[in-house]
Amino acid sequence: MATIRDVAKLADVSVSTVSLALSNPGRVSQKTLEKIRSAVAAVGYVADPLAQSLARGRSKMIGLVVGNVGNPFFGDIRRELENYALEHEHFVLITDSSGKPEREQALVEHLIGLKIAGLALAPSSFGADYVKFVESIKVPMVCFDQKVAGIERDFVGSDNYLAGAMLTEHLLQLGHRRIAFIAGPQHMHTASERYRGFMETMASAGVEVNPNYVVDGQFTRSAGYEAAMRLLIQPERPTAILGANNAVALAALQAMQELGFNCPGDISLCMIDDVQWSNVITPRITMVVQDTLKLGGIIARRLLQRITSSDAAAEPAQDFVLSPKFVPGNSCRRV
């Protein structure tokens, strides 16, 4: 591998001039610039990014830390960030915390050790210690998906209250009153907001919520399955189930199918967030989806702003909250 000194020797200039010419072509004379350019081409010089990062104290890499790269929700976000970063000569490193806060922390520290230029983080935890940890991150960053109280950082996400409210209203309009809700972990902002959207919409409609109809599905498939089962074995069954995310709703569908219930004949079902292949699932689930493409675009632009412009870097933290979209299916019937 050719080094900058090889270039300098061949172009008969000093190493510092080569470095200067390459990073700021306007500040050297036309003649030397050409000499250097042809020398670069001759020896096939490519700067060592590691050495550059060490000397500069920062690299051209952007860290993306998510809880589950397999989740299609992150797919668009990742893609948008990658494309946008590429346009700005940056390079995205994806890491997966498997939703474990301690691993997330280790990953973030590793990335910072790599002197990343910026960080896009989907927080996996909450609480004072966690906030302290995130706030200790000095690198330009954008949080997304999960809004964590107390973190003074840019945040990009969806209006989860609205998401819960929209589906609740939809079920109410169809005449449902016995509506069950499979909730997520309440310490998560998305989960508690969706829950609040459900409860408040029910309340404003003057419909009382049967406490047995609110079960905890932890946003996971297995807990959602158990929660759904608890709903289905009640003597006075709900006529509709609202799943706070895709995993618990589909787990509920599975439970219904296994017990022999027909959806929407016996019980209606709707959910927040899409899954891959949702349109070959029978019935097509009525859902509210996030505009992941747009979310990804905002995350990407905001992060690169903060990275490339010192003005933007100094701006106070800002929240970007998008409205989710209603996608009708045929999993909810009028009663």
Partner DNA sequence: GATGAAAATCGAACCGGTTCGATAGTCCGG
Partner DNA sequence: CCGGACTATCGAACCGGTTCGATTTTCATC
Shortest CB 124 distance to a copy of itself, Å: 15
Enter the tokens of residue 161: 């209250």
d(CA 256, CA 151): 40
Which is it for strands 325-327 and 286-289: parallel, antiparallel or unpaired? antiparallel
Cβ proximity of 124 and 105 under 8 Å: no
The footprint of a copy of itself on residues 259-298 (CB under 8 A) is 275-277, 279-282
User: Using CB distances below 5 to 8 A depending on partner kind, what does residue 110 bind out of DNA, a copy of itself, none?
Assistant: a copy of itself
Identify which of residues 22 and 131 has a Cβ nearer to DNA in the complex.
22
Which pair of structure tokens corresponds to residue 330?
A: 């045929």
List 254, 261, 305, 321, residue binding a copy of itself (CB under 8 A): 254
| Residue 276 interacts with, from DNA, a copy of itself, none (CB under 5-8 Å by kind) | a copy of itself
Can you read off the two tokens belonging to residue 181? 């809700």
Please give the order of strands across the beta sheet that includes 325-327: 214-216, 179-183, 240-243, 268-272, 286-289, 325-327
Residue whose entry in the numeric block shows the structure tokens 């409210």: 165
The residues of the shown chain that bind DNA, judged by CB under 7 A, are 1, 3-5, 12-17, 19-20, 22-23, 27-29, 31-32, 45-48, 51-52, 54-57
CA angle 221, 226, 230 (to 5 degrees): 140
69 makes contact, choosing from a copy of itself, DNA, none, with CB < 5 to 8 Å by partner type, with: a copy of itself
Task: Give the nearer residue to DNA in terms of CB position, either 16 or 330.
Answer: 16
Could you tell me which residues come within 8 angstroms of residue 293 by beta carbon, excluding any fewer than 6 positions away? 76, 80
Distance, in Å, from the CA atom of 148 to the CA atom of 107, rounded to the nearest integer, reads: 19
15 touches, from a copy of itself, DNA, none (C-beta below 5 to 8 Å by class)? DNA
Which residues inside 174-203 make contact with a copy of itself, applying CB under 8 A?
A: none
Nearest CB to a copy of itself, comparing residues 13 and 122: 122
Please, which residue, 28 or 287, has the CB nearer to DNA?
A: 28
How many whole angstroms separate alpha carbon 187 and alpha carbon 278?
A: 28
Q: Which is nearer to a copy of itself, 48 or 315 (CB)?
A: 48
* 1 vs 314, beta carbon nearer DNA: 1
Measured on CA atoms in the order 310, 313, 316, 320, is the torsion positive or negative?
positive
Indicate the residue type of 62. Answer: I
Among DNA, a copy of itself, none, partner that 5 touches (CB below 5 to 8 angstroms by kind):
DNA
Task: Rank residues 104 and 154 by Cβ distance to a copy of itself and give the closer one.
Answer: 104
Question: Token pair 């498939």 is at which residue?
Answer: 221
323 sits near a copy of itself (criterion: CB under 8 A) = no
Burial tier of 292 (Cβ tally within 10 Å: 0-12, 13-18, 19+): buried
Rule CB under 8 A: which residues touch a copy of itself?
46, 48-51, 53-54, 59, 69-72, 74-75, 78-79, 82, 91-96, 98, 107, 110, 113-115, 250, 253-254, 257, 275-277, 279-282
